Amino acid sequence: MPTDLTGLISGAVEANPLLGYGVIALVMLLENVIPPIPSEVVLPLAGYLVSRGQLALLPTVLAALAGTVLGACFWYGIGRLVPEERIERWLARHGSRLGLVSEDLARSRRWFAAHGSALVFWGRMVPGVRTLISVPAGLERMPQLAFLAWTTAGSLIWTVALTLAGRAMGQGYAQVARWLGPLAQTVEIGLIVALVVGVVALVIRATRQR
């Protein structure tokens, strides 16, 4: 899939830069709806094309950001409109095809319950969490404007960082995905530790109030 995507984006840019921006936006939208599409490959490639002068940085970032936010809004809408039990049943039956399992939803909701809006922001930068974090936001009826603001802010950092990394590394842009894996795991572990610390603090506070 990554090879097909890089060929698709490169071909679109060769044909017309405007078409290239549109394809980047579409791919990033699909990346947020269908997790196996890796932004860790798409965005560094876009940055590489920027370094070659085939794309401009600002339109590239805006196109990728627009697709990302639209994809996040899709899952947010699912969370608001579809009962949680139905989502869990669907993930149990079909989630594996998209690289998702029902435990991902449960984990995302636990994290959201503990950290709320902050997790919508930071979760946009954690592979494996960034897609489904929008679902508990919808389930918990997070205000739409707040969701949009936090999602856009987190997605902007993720988009700019990977695009600039690809531009800086030039032809070695594919290396970004390799070193990003351990970094993403570190961030994920950090979030888990923060969650555990938060739960312990709540338990201590509840014990003292008795």
Q: How many CB atoms lie within 10 A of CB 123?
A: 28
pLDDT in tens, 6-59: 778 888 888 898 999 999 999 899 888 876 566 777 888 888 889 888 999 999
**Mean pLDDT for the chain overall:** 75
What 3 state SS string does 58-83 have? HHHHHHHHHHHHHHHHHHHHHHHHCC
Q: Domain segments of the chain: what residues?
A: 2-209
pLDDT in tens, 72-113: 999 888 878 877 677 667 666 665 555 555 566 666 666 666
Judged against a pLDDT cut of 60, whether residue 144 lies above it is answered with: yes
* Cα(90)–Cα(101) distance, integer angstroms: 10
* Range in 48-52, 136-140, 174-178, 180-184 with the lowest mean pLDDT: 180-184
Residue 201 — very low, low, confident or very high, per pLDDT cuts 50/70/90?
low
Sign of torsion over alpha carbons 185, 188, 194, 199: negative
The mean pLDDT value for 104-127 works out to 71
Angle between helices 102-115 and 175-209 (to 10 degrees): 60
Contact indicator for 50, 86 with CB cutoff of 8 Å: no
Buried b (16+ CB within 10 A) or exposed e, 61-74: bbbbbbbbbebbbe
Q: What angle do CA 11, 14, 17 make, to 5 degrees?
A: 110
Name the residue with higher pLDDT: 27 or 175. Answer: 27
- The model carries a pTM of 0.69
The per-residue pLDDT for 26 is 92
Judged against a pLDDT cut of 50, whether residue 163 lies above it is answered with: yes
User: Which of 13, 11, 5 is closest to 29 using CA atoms?
Assistant: 5
Residue 1 — very low, low, confident or very high, per pLDDT cuts 50/70/90?
very low
* Cα(80)–Cα(147) distance, integer angstroms: 12
